[in-house]
Amino acid sequence: MRPGRSPERSLRGRGESAAAALQLLGHAQVGFAVDGVEEENDGGRDDHESGIERGGVADAEDGEVGDVAAGNVGLNTAYSSGADAAAIVFYGQFGRRRSRQLIEACFEDGRLLPRRTLGALGAEIPELKRRFRFNDDFARATLPEILGADRLAAAERFEARAFRSGVFLSDGRGGWRFQPLPRICQIAPAQAMAAGDFDGDGRMDLFIVQNWHGPIPYVGRFTGGLGQLLLGDGQGGFRAVEPAESGLVVPGDGRDVAVVDFGRRWGRGLLVSRNDSTLLGFVRRPAEREAGR
C-alpha cells in the first residue's frame, strides 16, 4: 500500500488544468484514495453551483498516477434531459438597474428561451412586466426579444452540456480519458463519494451518495437515487451493485460519506450524512468480516 496523495500533488506536472478545474469549480469536496488508503480534503463551497458536484483522485486503474472520479448532476433533471439538453447562463446588465442579473436559458426547437417565468424574471427586471402584460406574449418571445439582442451579446455566457458522473482515467503522460459511470448512477446527482476496496479483491471501488433537495421549488428536487456501490475491475470500469444486494440504502438528501473505523467489534464501515435527517452507519456483515472482506 502507498499512502494517499493530495489531488493537487498527484496531478501537478501531469495536467495542471485538471487540478485547477477542481479548485475553481467550487461546491466540491475532494475525497481521494490510492491503493486502498483513503483520505479526505474539504475543497470548500461557493454560492454558485457548478457542473461537477463532487470530485476526487483514486487509482481506478492499476497504475502509478491517480485517476479522477467526478460526480455530476446526472441525466434525470430538467437541465440534462432531451435532445437540446444544456445548462446555459447569461450574466450581465439587462434592466435599468445598475446591478447585473443572472439569467438561465435553454434551447427548444432551435429557439433560445428563458427558463424562468415572467413573474420570476419580472421580479429582477421590473420593466419586463410593463412590456409583456400577458403571459402568452412572453411565452411566444425568444430570449433575445425579451432582453434585447445587444445586451445578450454583451453579457458573459456560460454553458454546460456534459452531466454524467464518471472517471477521468490518466494515461500517465498528462492526458485524460473520460469514462462514464454505469447508467444507474446517472439517475440522481452524485453528492459525495468514498473510495476503497469494499469487496476485498484488491481493486478500487466507489460508493456514491445521491440526490439533492436544494433547487428552488420552480425547478424541483433532483432525486431518484438510493446511493450506489460500484465495484472496480482495476481497468477503470465499474459494476453497479443493487442496493438490495449490497445493503447500502441511502434515501433522502444525501450530503457526505466517509470511511470510518467503528471500533474493534465492527471494524471499518461507512458513515453517511443527510440533510434534515439522521446519520446512517453501515458495517460489513459478520460472514464478510470473517472472510476478511
Q: Which of 29-33, 92-96, 164-168 has the lowest mean pLDDT?
A: 29-33
151 pLDDT higher than 60: yes
How many Å apart are CA 233 and CA 67, to the nearest integer?
A: 14
pLDDT digits (tens, 9 = 90+) for 230-268: 999 988 899 999 999 999 999 999 999 999 999 888 888
**CB 228, CB 219: distance < 8 Å:** no
- Grid cell for residue 57: 483522485
- Grid cell for residue 63: 497504475
Q: Please give the distance of CA 284 from its chain centroid, rounded to a whole number.
A: 27
- Computed over every residue of the chain, the mean pLDDT equals 79
Band (pLDDT 50/70/90 cuts) for residue 31 is very low
Q: Which of 8-17, 25-34, 201-210, 217-226 has the lowest mean pLDDT?
A: 25-34
How many Å apart are CA 87 and CA 90, to the nearest integer?
A: 10
DSSP state of 61: B
Which amino acid is present at 55? G
**CB 125, CB 113: distance < 8 Å:** no
pTM for this predicted structure = 0.73
Per-residue pLDDT averaged across 159-174, rounded?
Answer: 90
